[in-house]
Amino acid sequence: MFSRSDRCGIALADRVAGPSGATASWQRAPRYGAARMRRRAICSIVVLAVGCAGCGGKTSLFNSSKPIRTVTVPVTSTSAHAPASGSSTTSSPLDLGIPALATKNTSRVDGSDPVSDAAGVALAVFPSVAPGTHPTAVTLAPTDDWPAAIAASSLMAPPFRAPVLLSGPSSLPAITLNALKLLAPTGNGSAGGAQVIRIGDVPAPSGVHSTYIGGNGPYALAAAIDSYETHERGRPSVNVVVASTDAPAYAMPAAGYAAESGEPVLFVDSAGVPAPTAQALAAHKHPHIYVLGPPSVISASVVAELARYGTVKRISGIDPASTSVDFAEYRDPPCAFGQPCVHVPGSFGWAIRSPGHAYVLINQNSTLDAAAAAALSSSGGYGPQLLVQNPNSLPTSVLNYFLDYATPGYTQEGPTAAVYNHAWLIGDPGEISVAVQGQVDSLLEAVPQR
């Protein structure tokens, strides 16, 4: 366990250990200076936020069990459309969708399900309102095959840059169809001019040029996506992420990394390495294989079987949330102790151990949201996906990660010279509450550094 002797009482009372069962050694770099001096103030805010988590009643507008302030604010207008003398006009945060939709350091994709979230994310990344703001292609992934949807996230990386939309097998959901019309993909040269890359059992949209990637089951479909990318890019990747179909939450953070790196996600189960996965790994010619999850998810015997095809290292926490944190911090080769840790060419992993980044928070019970949100990790702030288990509380591992690394500090030069963070929250407040959103907003705020 890493020492956190300078953390305030609330974090010390419930801190978590480092990676469990990891076969690769790595070290934590020194904390960013501004984080230490803010521990006590932040934890006071955290206590207030967590303490308020059970207050109040349900707000039907956001379908949330969390309270939202509803103080009305008088509005005075001097325009030609001002109300008649003696009348009054009021507005409230609920009318504006604030703070649920956005705070100064957070934005929410407020979909009611992963299909809606995918449409919202795609349009946030590609607003499609002016020349140059449309995607060249869109990936259409199946809602009934979450491993395929996560594996398809890698198509968001160059040269495809295709955000994920979701559909069932029978017909396109209305929101997916509307998003596709708004996105109006222009056609991707690396995909043979296709505007839509269809994955598995999804319908073919009319009026657009599409290409198809198929496979019999999730293992074959993930392998087919990998093969397609290898063919179009002209070479196999040197790194492969392997997750388990037995534990969806542990696989989720792979989607964001695949979208950023373009490296494939393949799957195993408790019985071993399925034939399609083995064949795909063999085609990579002894790659570096990174296993997501502890031995209880991907056993030592499965790791030994994987080692026939390449070098294997494990990225693991004690639960899905801490595993997502460990993935956010991870780099291979390991960062030198006492030196800044950053991703460099030829390395694997996010290696995010400093402020100035984006983070994507997802409820671990909404597996498809990982694929839906993947494009946010490959654009804008280019940040990792972090998991939340309980909508009404931030996991201790994620809280500790923000306290250690995400608090920007500024010196006498002033706040305009600082680096800044941003967090995306995926789903409505029933997935991640407004109280947690406010807590994250506070944790990411730049503060004076003494």
In a domain, residue 93? The reply is: no
How many domains does the chain fold into? Answer: 1
Q: Does 382 reside within a domain?
A: yes
- pLDDT higher at 87 or 422: 422
pLDDT confidence bin for 337, thresholds 50/70/90:
confident
Looking at residue 449, its pLDDT comes to: 80
Q: Which residues contact 48 (CB under 8 A, 6 or more apart)?
A: none
Confidence of residue 71 (pLDDT cuts 50, 70, 90): very low
Does 46 map to a domain? Answer: no
With respect to residue 85, please indicate whether it lies within any of the assigned structural domains. Answer: no
Helices 396-405 and 39-51: crossing angle in degrees, nearest 10, is 150
Question: pLDDT-derived band of residue 407, with 50, 70 and 90 as boundaries?
Answer: confident
Cα-based distances in Å from 58 to 61, 140, 161: 9, 35, 39
Q: Report the mean per-residue pLDDT for the chain.
A: 84
Q: Span 214-224, mean pLDDT?
A: 97
Distances (CA, A) of 388 to 104, 110, 385: 21, 16, 10
Residue range 121-147, pLDDT digits in tens:
999 999 999 999 999 999 999 999 999
Please state, in angstroms and rounded to a whole number, the distance separating the CA atoms of residues 241 and 15.
28
Decide if 343 is inside a domain. Answer: yes
Handedness of CA 379, 380, 386, 389 (dihedral sign): negative
| Element counts in the chain: helices (H) and strands (E) | 16, 17
Each residue of 22-33: pLDDT tens digit?
A: 333 233 333 344
As a whole-number percent, the residues of the chain with pLDDT over 90 amount to 71
Please determine, for residue 358, whether its predicted confidence score (pLDDT) is greater than 90: yes
Mean pLDDT score, 434-440: 97
User: How far apart are the C-alpha atoms of 345 and 337, rounded to whole Å?
Assistant: 19
Is the pLDDT reported for residue 289 higher than 50?
A: yes
Query: Which range is least confidently modeled, 50-54, 356-360, 382-386, 399-403?
Result: 50-54
45 is a domain residue: no
- Give residue 137's pLDDT: 98
| pTM of structure | 0.81
Decide if 60 is inside a domain: no
pLDDT tops 70 at residue 412:
yes
Q: 184: domain range?
A: 11-24+27-40+98-448
DSSP state letter for 137 = -
pLDDT at 8 over 80: no
pLDDT at 60 > cutoff 80: no
Whether 244 and 268 have beta carbons less than 8 Å apart is answered as yes
Is residue 3 predicted with pLDDT exceeding 80? no
Whether 437 is covered by a domain: the verdict is yes
What are phi and psi for residue 70, nearest 5 degrees? -125, 30
Residue 230 has pLDDT above 80, yes or no: yes
Which strands form 210-213's sheet, in the order they lie side by side?
164-167, 138-142, 196-199, 210-213
Query: Please, which pLDDT band fits residue 48 given cuts at 50, 70 and 90?
Result: very low
